[in-house]
Structure 1
Amino acid sequence: MNTGDKNGVIGKPVNRVDGHLKVTGGARYAAEFPVAKMTYGVTIQSTIAKGKITQIDTKAAEQVPGVLAVITHLNAPKASGEKGGGRKLQLLQDNIVLYSGQHIGIVVADTFERAMHAASLVKVRYQEEKPTIHMKDNLDKAYVPGGKIPRNEPPDKSHGDVAQALTTAAVRVEETYTTPVENHNPMEPHATTAVWQGNQLLVYDATQGIFSAQQKIAGALGIEPANIRLMSYYVGGGFGCKGSAWSHVPLAAMAARQVNRPVKLVLGRIQMYGPVGFRPETIQQVSLGATRDGKLTALRHSGTSQTSTFDEFIEPVGKSAGMLYACPNIETSHRLVQLDQGTPTYMRAPGEASGSFALESAIDELAYKLNIDPIELRLRNYAEVDPSNKLPWSSKSLRECYKVGAQRFGWQKRNPKPRSMRDGNYLIGWGMATATYPTNRSPASAITQIMADGTALVRSGSQDIGTGTYTVMTQVAAQALGLPVEKIRFELGDTNMPETPVSGGSQTAASVGTAVHLAGNEARSKLLQLALADQASPLYGANAEDVIAENGSLFLKNKSSKSETYAGILARHKMKMIEARADAKPGEEKQKYSMHSFGAQFAEVRVNPDSGEIRVTRWVGAFGVGRILNAKTADSQLIGGIVYGIGMALMEHTLTDPNRGRVVNADLAEYHVPVNADVPPIEVLFVDENDPHINPLGVKGVGEIGITGVAAAIANAVYHATGKRIRDLPITLDKLL
């Protein structure tokens, strides 16, 4: 049985099904659920980076009217932050200060204002120790990580003899590239509402992973995950920082249990710099060796990044270098330096965003040394198979991305000589870079119910972090069920629903989408079998392959008069609904194929030679990202990634006081991100790509590839415009003067 053409809704630019709720205020986020007897928690944070609390005076705070509790290490209940996976937590269990901004107490009051005032009255004395803050001053302490980088790979990988190949290379590029600490800054801050109902805990949380957060809270509090129901119906952006359950989440639950009332805890903007992760600083050395005609003979990419003293997080900057270009000798390595700062975390395209800046800048430098067009150089080193594992690609449209992107951008009109293109007094630069991101998929489940009125309810415990999950899953379900979009209700965000993975690694469409697709197919098949076996049905005895499902009806291909509605079938069998569940998981495909998305980024910049001011004035990005589920939301995701990359290239930089370890630009007035005036016209092109191997839907995910290559394309354009190669992000005007 097939669904008819009229139900071919996958790929169409369907408007967001949750759009009306969002613009009318009906979409409730973690801090917006009305709960009786609500109280408000405000955390107290350390003002030093390393040392011990010698005295904490809470008397004045406790005397504020409406204050219910001031919880510190002196009176906090016992907890364990080591269970449940993810990041190591600080849950007021001792007087040790590990970084500036660490939560060292929580005040609970009957109003937010009283809690804020009381928290300001708590006086803390420390025995301060000199912290280690700057990575560049401690490179001699860099060590080999104990853990694996994503995809369960070792931190160091190599094939061939890179050292020998570099020695004999006709042309070499050997440079160092750096990226600073960056912060996520989603519109919605981290927020948790905790409600105890006897020994059952109800949590509304701003999270990218409801099931992992459930496990983390259970481990911290020493209770069974089954006793925790966690809900996250809408998330106002995450970009990775909400992928882990941080200390404030179980602290809200601990406080709610202590005061025996619900507690709402929302971090202020300044509180989101340090205790909830960030993109770590990186120092990357890239060495390239090549023949005179541009064939790579050696590629070495070494990355050093920061981690905390109590946890380990690896920024895998070398992932792309191992697979992007054909080269007989490749070596990638990763090192860590422990600092007295919070633990870094995933930030949009972790590893690939930072790593592609270094790698793609170095490739551009090699192109200039060889006097070869940057696209041509990449084509001469085009990898027909994955160099890291020798596997064939499940699909790869990078050649086409280069071609269509260059044509639309007008690359053929580029004068390659630096400072050769002008508009009046302004210097014009054109740069490009390759984009890539792996295709990820994890186990996921979904339940579909076709209801007696001909509508369908589909549930899967995923998260919508602003990417359009509600909408694309509605489309997937509609196509599988042969129903119009308006007759589908898709629900997510509740641990009482079927389990799914964290919304990170661009895997939601592939993971949850596959489960929704399979559950829909199964429910439709069950309904068909009822009809085929029912003598009262006009479809009785027909061949299942000859039946079409369309617009809530089943009919024979060549005899549309022989049909009946879903509602009619269920009514005749006196059934309120028909239900199907699918538990989907990856198979052996990753052992057979290398699976990645690819793209080509093209940037135009306009530089004032007198002031050094840089403006990105035009952008074209061409992408081969598998099957597109929704043309509008996919376009939006890629545009968002490119804008994110513009911030990375030109603005974002978290500044830390070297003495106290305190972030000194911890607000959106001083931590600069792109605004509308900074964003040029951005054109996104999709290269048609049919990948039969990655998953039943053929989707690759688009949430992260958009940022990859962006910083490099801008840096390369700046070099073309000015003749100055900037290898230290962000590219601020002082570096050009």
Structure 2
Amino acid sequence: MQFDKPATTNPIDQLKVVGKPIHRLDGELKTTGRAMYAYEWHDKDVSYVYGYPIGAAIAKGKVKSIDASAAKKAPGVLTVVTTLDVGDLKKGKFNTAKLFGGSEIQHYHQAVAVVVAKTFEQARSAAALIKVDYEEQPGIFDLQAAMASAEKPDDSQEPDTAVGDFEAAFEAAPVTLSETYSTPDQSHSMMEPNASIAAWDGDALTVWTSSQMIDWWRTDLATTLGIDKEKIHLMSPFIGGGFGGKLFLRSDAVLAAFAAKAVGRPVKVALPRPFIANNTTHRPATIQRIRIGAERDGKITAIAHESWSGDLPGGGPETAVNQTRLLYAGANRMTAMRLATLDLPEGNAMRAPGEAPGLMALEIAIDEMAVKVGMDPIQFRIVNDTQVDPEKPERPFSHRDLIGCLERGSKAFGWDRRGAPGTRREGQWLVGMGVGAALRNNLVMPSGARVKLDKEGVVTVETDMTDIGTGSYTIIAQTAAEMLGVGIDKVAVQLGDSRFPVSAGSGGQFGANSATSGVYAACVKLREAVACKLGFDSEDVVFENGQVRSGNRSVPLAQAAADEGLVGEDTIKWGDLTKTHQQSTFGAHFVEVGVDVSTGETRIRRMLAVCAAGRILNPITARSQVIGAMTMGAGGALSEELAIDTRRGFFVNHDLAGYEVPVHADIPHQEVIFMDETDPMSSPMKAKGIGELGLCGVSAAIANAIYNATGIRVRHYPITLDKLIGELPDVA
């Protein structure tokens, strides 16, 4: 199905199942422990063995030799496979750094060997006996020091944009701001580590893994192993979180495949927690310079956003300027990104790449400008709203209600009770409110599905779409139920299997909208097959309550299947609507904090998100996504930072004891409001993504609330107490 015209009225608009607050269909499996995650897959008749990875102890250089003799003699050890044993391997399309193979070391904890033993403990113990001789080379590990050598990225990244004459307009503006902000390296820190089980049957490989993107992984694994893609069967039906850290093939799958080949038995490999930070990808640090010029009435006349980030050779920038190109009006504007070469582990996508760190800076700068012009921060944002792409005024937004989000949120949150900075005190606590606008582009991807109807009237959906905790099983079932006129109890959903049609996968906030649109397309095919089988005109047939009706004639849906069943399969493909209309999602985040006058400790007291993201397919699963994102934003604001050893080139705090993510005690009452809207230009579902919008702007709202509480402006994340305590005595 080609989606190249705005959606008109279709069966989804009935909203008998879609849009209803249906609890997750996989919830019982997960809460009772019956959902098998990658490392847990087992067959009672199969004897699994265990692989334990060894990571490079240097950040840059070469492996001269590996002595595995002692490890091979250790109890229970079956074999050791080293990077020198397999030699140089082809790198997959989506990996900047190689995962395994050859002597070159590109970053710390790059996999250099895997020990295979009868038990996990035996493999781990023997791994300590491996001796690796390195030829170490000097590396670059400090973004601040590397800024001078940073270069303009490849043109495909759209590194620079310019409209009007920013420099002249900024110079002429009566009110200006020029400040630098920074965000640190951050780790995905999902609950489930990267883990895989590999088993060979002749030259065919089966992999149970934890992957957000089945087809991407399968393709790159085939490239790395040098085998036909069709020889690989990859399964990932349940995933314990990903946040972008499982978008691309990781070393656990590669190591498991080589280990299983070597021992002739299925091998389990899970990356230890320290490997999550250094062996996999992370959100790279940024240094951002923002300049804004405005009239005294608050109208922005000039806005510029420049960002510096770093990555390994061949990598790309953290696109932290993207939202500034779209969020606020202003006739004269420029954005630029510069990329430094760093020899740290690979920087890549982490929930809302680009917008999340970019808004951490921009939305503080917008608050600072509101103070400078003497306006309420919400009113300043409203004054500078735009209904067209500011860089391409001929292209309007398909639907944009940022003002509605701000106004509804301010009323619900009690914004009128917000006082001047440093004036509201409750005992030991200075109390303040902050706001941050949210923008995340509405991305879509081609997505396929197969829908089957059997003689019992049961509808089965098959697609390699994944569920990383987002509710994919549920919203896909709702889509099929709505399209075929059955209850959700009559729908079975099978996901995460490379034998199924290739879907959008989970990432970039494109999963829900794209995958359900693919199911919609497949259901249209099945509806046509049913109508044809029953002798109905497919143009006026109605599917309702398990019946198929046309005119005065009504037939049970199951009757159309007969004994042989019916199948509909299709892929949603996207036209050029994004060329004529900018498609984005919008929101507003409100936060109230308390800051201890003696210690500088910040506690979040209340949070509210108001989201405008098209049709909400399921308010329960959507709310879950948003409150999870809000929690992630709290971590980004107050605690999350990968600390770099700039001499040795690695992340020091590479476990959950040192890398501090929010826990239950850190998160207070959270509310989520969804604006009642649809966007026919987005998809036949008239929906958009929501999972990343819930993160965008949260950290800045917290920073702005801290300013309102204390009068102290912090521009460098995370906002730890040491950045506040020096100025608190004066405030207190």
TM range (shorter): over 0.9
The question of whether the paired residues in 2 share the 8 Å contact of 1:2 and 1:549 is answered with: no
The question of whether the paired residues in 1 share the 8 Å contact of 2:97 and 2:106 is answered with: no
Q: For 1:5 and 1:695, locate their aligned partners in 2 and report how far apart those are by CA, in whole Å.
A: 12
Q: For 1:636 and 1:529, locate their aligned partners in 2 and report how far apart those are by CA, in whole Å.
A: 41
SS in 1 for 2:492: strand
Q: For 1:2 and 1:443, locate their aligned partners in 2 and report how far apart those are by CA, in whole Å.
A: 20
SS in 2 for 1:707: coil
**1:70 matched residue in structure 2:** 80
Matches within 5 A, 1:599-614: 599-614=587-602
The question of whether the paired residues in 2 share the 8 Å contact of 1:401 and 1:623 is answered with: yes
Deviation at 1:254, TM superposition (A): 1.9
- Shift in CA distance, 371/7, structure 1 to aligned 2, threshold 3 Å: closer
Deviation at 1:207, TM superposition (A): 0.8
Residue 360, structure 1, aligned to residue 368, structure 2: no
Q: For 2:273 and 2:700, locate their aligned partners in 1 and report how far apart those are by CA, in whole Å.
A: 29
Q: For 2:15 and 2:360, locate their aligned partners in 1 and report how far apart those are by CA, in whole Å.
A: 42
Letter in 1 for 2:381: R
The question of whether the paired residues in 2 share the 8 Å contact of 1:6 and 1:551 is answered with: no
Residue 132, structure 1, aligned to residue 126, structure 2: no
**1:538 matched residue in structure 2:** none
Letter in 2 for 1:56: I
The question of whether the paired residues in 2 share the 8 Å contact of 1:47 and 1:660 is answered with: no
**2:336 matched residue in structure 1:** 333
Q: For 2:107 and 2:594, locate their aligned partners in 1 and report how far apart those are by CA, in whole Å.
A: 41
Letter in 2 for 1:553: Q
**1:44 matched residue in structure 2:** 54
SS in 2 for 1:457: strand
Q: For 2:11 and 2:650, locate their aligned partners in 1 and report how far apart those are by CA, in whole Å.
A: 58
**2:294 matched residue in structure 1:** 290
TM-score, reference length from structure 2: 0.95
Q: 2:641 aligns with which of 645, 653, 661?
A: 653
The one-character-per-residue Cα deviations of 1:314-357 (angstroms, maximum 9, x if unpaired) are 10000000011111111111111112211111111001010001
Q: 1:318 aligns with which of 321, 324, 327?
A: 321
**1:568 matched residue in structure 2:** 559
The question of whether the paired residues in 2 share the 8 Å contact of 1:2 and 1:548 is answered with: no
More divergent stretch after superposition (546-555 vs 331-340): 546-555
Q: 2:386 aligns with which of 383, 405, 414?
A: 383
**2:680 matched residue in structure 1:** 692
Matches within 5 A, 1:396-545: 396-415=400-419, 417-532=420-535
Q: For 2:632 and 2:197, locate their aligned partners in 1 and report how far apart those are by CA, in whole Å.
A: 29
Q: For 1:19 and 1:147, locate their aligned partners in 2 and report how far apart those are by CA, in whole Å.
A: 44
Letter in 2 for 1:517: Y
Segments of 5+ residues of structure 2 without an aligned counterpart are 1-8, 726-732
Deviation at 1:618, TM superposition (A): 0.7
**2:187 matched residue in structure 1:** 183
Q: For 1:381 and 1:547, locate their aligned partners in 2 and report how far apart those are by CA, in whole Å.
A: 48
Residue 307, structure 1, aligned to residue 311, structure 2: yes
The one-character-per-residue Cα deviations of 1:273-300 (angstroms, maximum 9, x if unpaired) are 1111111110000000111111111111
Q: For 1:4 and 1:39, locate their aligned partners in 2 and report how far apart those are by CA, in whole Å.
A: 48
The question of whether the paired residues in 1 share the 8 Å contact of 2:100 and 2:110 is answered with: no
**1:549 matched residue in structure 2:** 543
Matches within 5 A, 1:182-221: 182-221=186-225
SS in 1 for 2:39: coil
The question of whether the paired residues in 2 share the 8 Å contact of 1:4 and 1:549 is answered with: no
**2:729 matched residue in structure 1:** none
Q: For 1:544 and 1:351, locate their aligned partners in 2 and report how far apart those are by CA, in whole Å.
A: 45
Q: For 1:404 and 1:14, locate their aligned partners in 2 and report how far apart those are by CA, in whole Å.
A: 26
Residue 167, structure 1, aligned to residue 177, structure 2: no
Q: For 2:112 and 2:607, locate their aligned partners in 1 and report how far apart those are by CA, in whole Å.
A: 46
Q: 1:667 aligns with which of 642, 647, 655?
A: 655
Deviation at 1:577, TM superposition (A): 0.9
- Shift in CA distance, 471/163, structure 1 to aligned 2, threshold 3 Å: same
SS in 2 for 1:604: strand
Letter in 2 for 1:552: G
Residue 640, structure 1, aligned to residue 648, structure 2: no
Residue 19, structure 1, aligned to residue 27, structure 2: yes
Q: For 1:579 and 1:48, locate their aligned partners in 2 and report how far apart those are by CA, in whole Å.
A: 54
Segments of 5+ residues of structure 1 without an aligned counterpart are 534-542
More divergent stretch after superposition (518-527 vs 387-396): 518-527
The one-character-per-residue Cα deviations of 1:704-730 (angstroms, maximum 9, x if unpaired) are 000100111111111111111000000
Q: For 1:597 and 1:576, locate their aligned partners in 2 and report how far apart those are by CA, in whole Å.
A: 44
Deviation at 1:147, TM superposition (A): 5.5
**2:611 matched residue in structure 1:** 623
Deviation at 1:74, TM superposition (A): 3.3
The question of whether the paired residues in 2 share the 8 Å contact of 1:21 and 1:27 is answered with: yes
The question of whether the paired residues in 1 share the 8 Å contact of 2:413 and 2:608 is answered with: yes
Deviation at 1:157, TM superposition (A): 1.1
Runs of 4 or more above 4 Å deviation: 1-7, 543-547
Deviation at 1:100, TM superposition (A): 1.6
The question of whether the paired residues in 1 share the 8 Å contact of 2:611 and 2:673 is answered with: yes
Letter in 2 for 1:107: V
SS in 1 for 2:128: helix
Letter in 1 for 2:622: A
Deviation at 1:98, TM superposition (A): 2.1
The question of whether the paired residues in 2 share the 8 Å contact of 1:320 and 1:352 is answered with: yes
**1:540 matched residue in structure 2:** none
SS in 2 for 1:585: strand
The question of whether the paired residues in 2 share the 8 Å contact of 1:273 and 1:663 is answered with: yes
The one-character-per-residue Cα deviations of 1:24-64 (angstroms, maximum 9, x if unpaired) are 22211111111523221111112222233334221110101
More divergent stretch after superposition (262-271 vs 480-489): 262-271
Q: For 1:693 and 1:675, locate their aligned partners in 2 and report how far apart those are by CA, in whole Å.
A: 39
Q: For 1:265 and 1:326, locate their aligned partners in 2 and report how far apart those are by CA, in whole Å.
A: 51
Matches within 5 A, 1:588-603: 588-603=576-591
Q: 2:100 aligns with which of 82, 86, 91?
A: 91
The question of whether the paired residues in 2 share the 8 Å contact of 1:47 and 1:662 is answered with: no
The one-character-per-residue Cα deviations of 1:218-260 (angstroms, maximum 9, x if unpaired) are 1111111111111111110000010011233223212222222
Residue 720, structure 1, aligned to residue 708, structure 2: yes
Q: 1:710 aligns with which of 693, 698, 709?
A: 698
SS in 1 for 2:29: helix
**1:539 matched residue in structure 2:** none
Number of residue pairs the alignment of both structures matches: 714
Letter in 1 for 2:472: T
The question of whether the paired residues in 1 share the 8 Å contact of 2:194 and 2:250 is answered with: no
More divergent stretch after superposition (602-611 vs 56-65): 56-65
Q: For 1:545 and 1:319, locate their aligned partners in 2 and report how far apart those are by CA, in whole Å.
A: 43
The question of whether the paired residues in 1 share the 8 Å contact of 2:505 and 2:515 is answered with: no
- Shift in CA distance, 442/490, structure 1 to aligned 2, threshold 3 Å: same
Deviation at 1:129, TM superposition (A): 3.1
SS in 1 for 2:365: helix
Deviation at 1:555, TM superposition (A): 3.4
Deviation at 1:5, TM superposition (A): 9.4
- Shift in CA distance, 216/6, structure 1 to aligned 2, threshold 3 Å: closer
TM-score, reference length from structure 1: 0.94
Residue 144, structure 1, aligned to residue 138, structure 2: no
Deviation at 1:547, TM superposition (A): 4.3
SS in 2 for 1:75: helix
The question of whether the paired residues in 2 share the 8 Å contact of 1:3 and 1:550 is answered with: no
Letter in 2 for 1:461: D
Q: CA RMSD in A?
A: 1.7
SS in 1 for 2:86: coil
Residue 275, structure 1, aligned to residue 279, structure 2: yes
